[in-house]
Structure 1
Amino acid sequence: MTMRTRLLRRRNIIRTLKKWIPKLRFILFAVGVTWLFVLPSKQYSKRTYISENALLPGQVKTYYSWSEVNEASVYAESIESLVNASSLEKAAAIERELRKSGFKTATQNFTVNILGKPITGVNVFAILNAPRGDGTEALVLSAPWKSKDGITDNINGVAAALSIGNSLKKYTYWSKDIILLISDGAEIGVQAWLEAYHDYQRSDMIGSPLLLRSGAIQAAVNLDFPGTHSYRALGLFFEGLNGQLPNLDLLNIVVRICRVSAYIPVMLHETGHIYQYNDDYGDYKSSLHNLITTMKFQALGHPTGNHGLFLRYKIDAITLYGKVDEEVNQQKFRFYEIGSVVESTFRSLNNLLEHFHQSFFFYLLPSPERYISIDHALALWASTGDDPNIQSAPSSSVTVTATPGSSKDAKHTVDDLAVALPYNRRPRRIAFPLAVLIGTHAAGLVILFVVKNHFDISRLAELFGIPGYLSTLSLTSSISIVTTSVLVTTLESRSLANSRSQPLRPANLTPSPDWAVLKCFSLAYTGMIISCLSVLNYSLAVFVALAVVIPFSLFRPTEQQLLRALQLFVLLVISPPGLLLLSGVDIRAFLEWQLSEYLVLGNYLLPFVCCTYWPTILAYGIIVFAPVR
């Protein structure tokens, strides 16, 4: 009786699972999407706190005074007169001012070839040796010539950096060297300086060696205050290259100082809600906006400021941005508040006994003073490849043997208790599906090669009157179509040959169709990619999952032309060319931007799309066109 009860229970459980598992994937997907909209609520975020007790933000008296403010105003006038000067003239003027103040200064010339166009620039930097240090650790205060939009001149940012440097030099409590860096050429200039500082050499970027050096850089603060305006709020940009983030303590220092010392309104990035002194959350709408903006920047992998290049060298960095507001009645701030915040921040960083390590490196910020830890953000993304239309294998009888000493010492065949398995135990041929995945990824490598040579292809196409970006897009799409067509034709020939050569067999002995094995591999591969990506670039993993989880789990071959056309349409929409067309961006500018990001800065979005995402799309295209046999 015990065995009979156990078999009955097992059969009921399996029947229930077989009924609900196909629906579970939709439930899990809905839970994951809903979770994203729950995260910005106040109940699922925590108030930020300082993990490193030695930092003591806002606990010191700052000495940046109105005499330094007047000095900064003079610097701003001088810098404004250099707006149309060459890089060499700008560098010479800055170096001259730094030497007047008693700094050790040096310049770095660099040249980088981007898409066949040589870009040159000159970086200027100076080092303030710590009176109480041995030169083994340093902090960086940087300011680019251009603001983050690449158009507006960063006049107040450079002037503030020079003025703050002069102010910091007057005091002897520094235990870490301070490096002043005025960079040229936006992120490229910082990249050239960092590579030279760490003795990294590459063939496509030529930079002169640095004549001055200090120790290991612990942290960096980048100033971006465009124009000569006063500012409404202090914007915080913290996303780095490939979605890297600085230690949360660095942001907490700046926000705490703005709250308790400088009384400056703060905001995340440059759009959205401005957080006043007693406002730590705002509302749900502003939190959702901040979350989506942060995830967008992270997914693209582009650094949101010059600070983003420091993060790849394990240097925590942040950009302070001046939000310009033309409203007359709003409270404004300028050099005095900027200098006080930067000085107090550097005083806190000067207290570091070791590298930032205690606070979070993986987080999302719905507001400057609230954070979402990664344990809340990593919701379950799962789907099943189980097909409810697959019939079960014929049931086998279960033979039960009574134990010695029981009332019935004989064998009992209980056919009525046979357990129907929710799947078929069938042979699976994996060689061809694996070859298909290898073939699609080989096509992805060819696509990446074509995109990398976009400039040469464009020049050749323009000789025939064809826009360069259109030729690259057409060529990559043609590679995708040819690869899919060849593999689908091979799959059809293979399926036809198998059906002719094999006699009729029971369902449990017939090999699984190639498309089913290919779909199993593709689903497992997609899940593996999303899982690995979630701990490298969580935001990119979320957007990939939103795009592909439901379509990939539903796609299958069909003889209904309308359903097949619908599946093909969805594949075209979520493919890279389809997403580009739907986004409405300038395709030529986007291709050149992504290519320069990949070749110069090392942004991995382009190789990820070409070598991982696009080949997976091709594999599912083959599944859609597979023969139904």
Structure 2
Amino acid sequence: MPAEKDEAKEPRARPRLIIFMASFLVSHSTLFSVVCCIAGLIALLLLPILAKSTYISENALMPGSANPVFSGQDVSEASRLVKDITETQKMGKTTGIEIQRLIIQRMADVGAEVYYHKFQSQSNQFHPFRFFSCDSNSAVTESNSNTSNGLNTVGIIRAPRGDGKEAIVLVTPYNSEYVKLNDALSLGLGFSIFSHLSRVSWLAKDILWLAADSRYGEYSSVSAWLKDYHNPVFFSSENVDANVTHDKDFLNMENKNMLNGRNVDVFKRAGTMAAAMVFKVGEAMERDPRDILTIYAEASNGQMPNLDLINVVHYLAVHRQGFRVNIGKLASLVNSAWLNLVGQILEWLGNLAKNLNPKWNFGISSADYAEGAATVASSMYHQALGVPTGSHGAFRDYQVDAITFSFSSRFYLNNENMQSSFILRGGRLIEGVIRSVNNLLEKFHQSFFLYMMTAPNKFVSVGVYMIGFALLALPLPVVAASLFLNHKATGFTGTEEAKIAFGSWQWLYAAKTVLMIDLWALIASLMPYFISQIPNISPTESTLLWVALSVSILAVLYVILGSPYSHSGNVEWQTLKAFVIASVTIGMGLMSIINFATAQIGALLIVPMCLVVRPLKKHMQGALILRALSLVCNLVMVVIGFPPAALLLMKGFSEGFEGVGIGAVWEVAEFLWVWNSATYLYVFLVHLPCWVLCIHILLHP
């Protein structure tokens, strides 16, 4: 008896802290979700304030440590080439390869190894078996023409202080069919730098200059050359079809493969590429007080070059050559009223904090905030799109750090004096960047690869911008657990009873519904390949046919596998919603590994929709104001979360709403597909099934 009394008096064991916290969060999932979503939105709005100034991480780069020696003699060589190209253009000698012949002759005259690179460019088309394939990159073009032939011109300078194991690549794209003045200036600038580097003694890395024939797209010509550079094909040029080699157009029968005694059809290589720079001369910007240098850095699937490369270019351009550096920004956000209001509030809070403690100096003006927000939105958008913003993206596919920068003069460059001054400053900038990269003993690795720009000299690292995504995604597993466990709370005392509905295996119906919608989404994502085979069909007709076939296939799956509403007596909407949230969490988690920006924007659209959605019949309960508010939130989230609507909104905010229509859905989908963007898979394998399942929950009886 005494022993039994002692046992009865023993206190009940307390749950472990982690179990206690998990039980508390699950039982208060609604409050937890609201707090996390608000905090996530605030974290994203604070990104311009949390941005840090850029800095050089790799000491070996030493930008500006040596004075450039690019001189007027080099400018004269550029001017002569520009004049020769212009005269050739006026004489109408552009049907063959007169421009290429002129460039390769100049390369050979400075003692470089030269060759022609012949490639085929194919038209845009859907192809399900080439998705994520490097082979398809060379087939991507920016025109709607059929398979065509292009001709690149390549020169190699062997470094006097190098061992041939590393190289720096310079790329100058130009339209060989119609060479404009800015194209001629780009070629002149490229040749003057190439000629200058052939005479210097400090080179430790080989120099490759690619004059890229971009008549079928800048990316296509560079990608084709890189593919052949990294995947050599052993065959004789004599065996190539005449339509591909252009022998009839550009080579005489006596010396069709020779130039100064050297074979120009043999593909030659240098060492491993340390870095690449794509540069070109853009249109004049009259209203700006300074010459402009615009930097493009985004590559496929959100890849970015090492930040040190951008920092070197920015430092030398601003502090040595006096350029004004630009990066992309969403113009529609700069003058946005609500964004300026947020900026004013943050500016007031910053001033208040500074008055309380002078050390709290985190204020930012409303104008700078709007500029930073528009810039980081542009950076996030282009990363999420997963499409390169220039031919530098082809290098990132081979893990080579590369950027594109475009020079724009404040004056029209018809005047020779303006041309000379412009080429001199541009040449000295490129020489300075090459000197810095030449100093490296290893690949870029010190600085960041995951970042977003808020200004040319400010950035947000992954450790900062991932906080917003983490806060938005954190409620998903908590809400899923709360829905699935069917809590019976009698007031929080540290323990709760949870009943798991495994006994009757009712959850299998919900799992089957989710898998069926996922199967339908997979079929719908492959359908454009077959629609694209129909000749003479417009984008609007393709979109409508795509929608009609998708709805029909979904109806067929309902007939074969059963509609989720046929089991309405067994499947509860809470269980279905729990499985939807679990599926979305897995999809967003995987996407965050491939392209974090896509997952970030997806979280802004999907997470609120998943958390808010509930059956319409539930809106008939409770107070009138709460019912109306809940119903409006559900409908708004469902409309905005509709994948085509989301794509059109993003396209409209970035490029304007003038060309936005039904056919734009097909154009955006085709654009993502042919560029092998993982965003296409995310939209149609994660976002679309999530939206359809939310509609199922909304209409649940």
Q: TM-score, normalised by structure 1?
A: 0.80
- Is 2:478 the partner of 1:478? no
Given the superposition, is the C-alpha separation of residues 569 and 96 from structure 1 closer, same or farther in structure 2, using an over 3 Å criterion?
A: same
Q: 1:604 offset after TM fit, Å?
A: 2.7
Check if 1:37 corresponds to 2:45. yes
1:62 deviates by 1.2
User: SS state of the match for residue 378, structure 1?
Assistant: helix
1:364 aligns with 2:444: no
Distance 1:123 1:598, change over 3 A: farther
CA distance in 2, matches of 1:596, 1:418: 54
Whole-Å Cα distance in 1 between the matches of residues 443 and 396 of structure 2? 13
Confirm or deny: 8 A CA contact 1:300 1:605 kept in the other structure. yes
Matched, 1:376 2:461: no
Map 1:233-382; keep pairs closer than 5 Å: 233-269=292-328, 283-325=368-410, 334-379=422-467, 380=470, 381=472, 382=474
- 1:187 Cα deviation from its structure 2 partner: 0.6
8 Å CA contact retained: 2:385, 2:672: no
What residue in structure 2 maps to residue 46 of structure 1? 52
User: Which residue of 2 is the match for residue 226 of structure 1?
Assistant: 282
Distance across 2 between alignment mates of 1:418 and 1:296: 45
User: What per-residue deviation string (whole Å, max 9, x for no partner) do you get for residues 428-482 of structure 1?
Assistant: 44444333333323323322332234432253xx4xxxxx212321232224423
Q: Give the one of 188, 200, 219 matched to 2:220.
A: 188
The whole-number CA distance in structure 2 between the counterparts of 1:90 and 1:593 is 35
Which structure 2 segments of 5+ residues have no match?
A: 1-8, 126-145, 234-242, 246-264, 335-363, 621-627
1:465 maps to none
CA distance in 2, matches of 1:213, 1:619: 53
2:106 paired with 1:97: yes
For 1:609, the aligned partner's letter is: V
Matched ranges for 1:456-495 at <5 A? 456-459=533-536, 462=537, 468-485=538-555
Q: Distance in 1 between matches of 2:693 and 2:185?
A: 53
**Alpha carbons 1:242, 1:537 under 8 Å: kept:** yes
Matching residue of 2:73: 67
From 267, 270, 281, the equivalent of 1:211 is 267
Secondary structure of the residue aligned to 2:78 is helix
Aligned equivalent of 1:198: 230
1:517 to 575, 598, 602: 575
- Separation of aligned partners in 1, 2:409 and 2:299: 23
Return closer, same or farther for 1:5/1:615 CA change in 2, 3 Å cut-off. Answer: closer
Match of 1:112 in 2: 121
Partner AA of 1:113 in structure 2: Q
Q: Residues of 2 paired with 1:323 and 1:271: CA distance?
A: 20
TM-superposed CA distance for 1:115, in Å, is 3.9
For 2:23 and 2:576, locate their aligned partners in 1 and report how far apart those are by CA, in whole Å: 27
- Secondary structure of 2:104 counterpart: helix
Task: Indicate yes or no: 2:497 matched with 1:421.
Answer: yes
Q: CA deviation at 1:199?
A: 0.7
- Residues 80 and 155 in structure 1, CA contact (< 8 A), matched pair in contact too: yes
Q: Does 537-546 or 439-448 show the bigger shift?
A: 439-448
Aligned to 2:680: 606
Kept in 1: contact 2:70–2:424 (CA 8 A): yes
- Give the SS at the match of 1:218: strand
| Alpha-carbon separation, structure 2, partners of 1:129 and 1:10 | 63
Note closer, same or farther for the CA distance 1:120–1:618 as it changes in structure 2 (3 Å cut).
farther
> Which residue in the other structure is 1:546 paired with?
604
Structure 1: 5+ residue runs without aligned partners?
A: 274-279, 397-415, 463-467, 500-510
- Give the conservation status (yes or no) of the 8 Å contact 1:146–1:152: no
Percent of pairs identical after alignment?
25
Counterpart CA distance in 2 for 1:438 and 1:152 is 57
Which moved further from structure 2: 613-622 or 563-572?
563-572
Whether contact under 8 Å (1:395, 1:418) holds in the other structure is no
State the AA in 1 paired with 2:694: Y
Q: Distance in 1 between matches of 2:228 and 2:20?
A: 68
- Residue 219 (structure 1) shift: 0.3
Q: In the alignment, is the contact (CA less than 8 A) between 2:520 and 2:554 conserved in 1? A: no
**CA shift at 1:355, angstroms?**
0.9
Residue correspondences, number: 572
* 1:491-530 superposed Cα distances (whole Å, 9 cap, x missing partner): 986765684xxxxxxxxxxx7x254333222212212222
- For 2:205, the equivalent position in structure 1 comes to 176
Could you tell me whether the CA contact under 8 Å between 1:436 and 1:487 is conserved in 2? no
Distance 1:102-1:387 versus aligned 2 partners, 3 A rule: closer
**Corresponding residue for 1:624?**
698
CA contact (8 A) 2:540 2:666 kept: no
Q: Name the amino acid aligned to 2:101.
A: A
Q: Distance in 2 between matches of 1:481 and 1:111?
A: 39
Task: Return the letter of the residue paired with 1:90.
Answer: I
2 CA distance for matches of 1:438 and 1:31?
A: 33
Whole-angstrom CA distance in 2 between matches of 1:490 and 1:621: 20
After TM superposition, the structure 1 stretch with the greater mean CA deviation from structure 2, 167-176 or 435-444, is: 435-444
Residue deviations 1:8-34 (CA, integer Å, cap 9, x gap): x99999997566321221221111111
1:397-442 CA-to-partner distances (Å, cap 9, x unmatched) read xxxxxxxxxxxxxxxxxxx999553666554444443333333233
Q: Write 1 or 2 for the structure with the bigger share of helix.
A: 2
Q: Give the secondary-structure state (helix, strand or coil) at the position aligned to 1:31.
A: helix
In structure 2, what is the equivalent of residue 276 of structure 1? none
**For residues 98 and 329 of structure 2, what CA distance do their matches in structure 1 show?**
31
Q: 1:277 is matched with which residue?
A: none
Q: Could you say if the C-alpha distance between residues 316 and 19 of structure 1 is closer, same or farther in structure 2, counting changes exceeding 3 Å?
A: same
User: Does the 8 A contact of 1:158 with 1:223 survive in 2?
Assistant: no
Contact 2:23-2:495 at 8 Å conserved across structures: no
Q: TM-score under structure 2 normalisation?
A: 0.72
The C-alpha deviation readout for 1:128-182, integer Å capped at 9, x for no partner, is: 11112221111101011159xx999533222211111001111122111100001
Note the alpha carbon deviations across 1:511-551, whole angstroms, 9 max, x for none. 7x254333222212212222332343222122111111111
Tell me if structure 1 keeps the 8 A contact 2:294–2:326: yes
> 1:97 deviation in Å?
2.2
**How far apart in 2 are the matches of 1:14 and 1:57?**
52
Deviates more, 1:87-96 or 1:288-297: 87-96
